[in-house]
Amino acid sequence: MSRAERLLDLMQVLRRHRIPVSGRHLAEETGVSLRTLYRDIASLQAQGAAIEGEAGLGYVLRPGFTLPPLMFREEEIEALVLGMRWVATRTDGPLASAAGDALAKIAAVLPAELRERLDTSTLIVGPAEAVPERIDLAALRGAIRAQHKVTIRYRDAGGAGSERVIWPFALGFFERVRVVVAWCETRNDFRHFRTDRIETLTLTGERYARRRHALLREWRALQGIAPAA
């Protein structure tokens, strides 16, 4: 186990205790010597962890403390790199750029050992062949965040066109296409729209009547999809 992983384990153990716990007990739970435990506590405190207490009295993690990014496990680092690389090749320009910026911010606060693993990750995302789109996905994502109605001109698989007012609340990214999940005022029901078949997108600036999360929960239930963890 690397030192970074050992420190993360110690933080997780401290999170489970609401009252001060002795150094000896923490050492037993984390499988290290008492001397190593005291060094690890000091290291975490030096890095900003809100651990209160001292040898002989016990230690407790102050409530509300947020685990810093530098405490990511190696596999979590790999998951982040792979996910960001996927986003960079499978989404619109602004979101792809944001993925690169986020990864750079994480790298800036990682200790040297983990930063090197991030930079040298061997997990690769293959080339993408997305179907071209006519609309601005960033604008669509903005409407979803703001819970605003949009008007679209849509052409279905058979070539028939229609104009709809929809309440977009989710956007699915697949290997080649993206799909908007929305409540359709025309059909008075949930509908799915491939973004490459949306010919025009007009932002109304009008907030729709229900909360986005409520629509998402209802749609998940109808699809038989378990709630997100």
Structure tokens of 135? 């609309």
Same domain for 99 and 25: no
Same domain for 186 and 142: yes
Domain end marker among 119, 154, 189: 119
Overall number of domains in the chain: 3
Q: Buried b vs exposed e over 83-106: b needs ≥16 C-beta within 10 Å?
A: ebbbbbebbbeebbebbeeebeeb
Contact 60, 53 (CB under 8 A): yes
Within a domain: 81: yes
Within a domain: 210: yes
Within a domain: 130: no
Beta-bridged to residue 184, according to DSSP, are: 166, 189
What does the pLDDT look like over 81-92, one tens digit per residue? 999 999 988 888
Within a domain: 131: no
Within a domain: 127: no
Q: Say which DSSP state 21 is in.
A: B
pLDDT (0 to 100) of residue 229: 45
pLDDT (0 to 100) of residue 22: 93
| CA–CA gap between residue 181 and residue 115 (Å, rounded) | 37
The CATH number linked to 56 is: 1.10.10.10
Within a domain: 150: yes
- Residue ranges in the chain modelled with pLDDT below 70: 1, 64-71, 227-229
Same domain for 154 and 86: no
Same domain for 216 and 142: yes
| CA–CA gap between residue 103 and residue 206 (Å, rounded) | 34
Q: Tell me which residue of 51, 61, 53 sits closest to 17, measured CA to CA.
A: 61
Beta-bridged to residue 130, according to DSSP, are: none
| DSSP string across 162-188 | EEEEEEEEEEEE-SS-EEEEEEETTTT
Q: How far apart are the first and last CA of the chain?
A: 28
The CATH number linked to 190 is: 2.30.30
Within a domain: 124: no
Same domain for 57 and 33: yes
Contact 155, 119 (CB under 8 A): no
pLDDT (0 to 100) of residue 95: 92
Contact 13, 26 (CB under 8 A): yes
CA angle centred on 223, ends 156 and 204, rounded to 5°: 50
Same domain for 83 and 62: no
pLDDT (0 to 100) of residue 118: 82
User: If you compute the radius of gyration of the chain from its CA atoms, what whole number of angstroms results?
Assistant: 24
Q: Which helix (H) or strand (E) holds 224?
A: none
Within a domain: 229: no
The boundaries of the domain holding residue 57 are 3-68
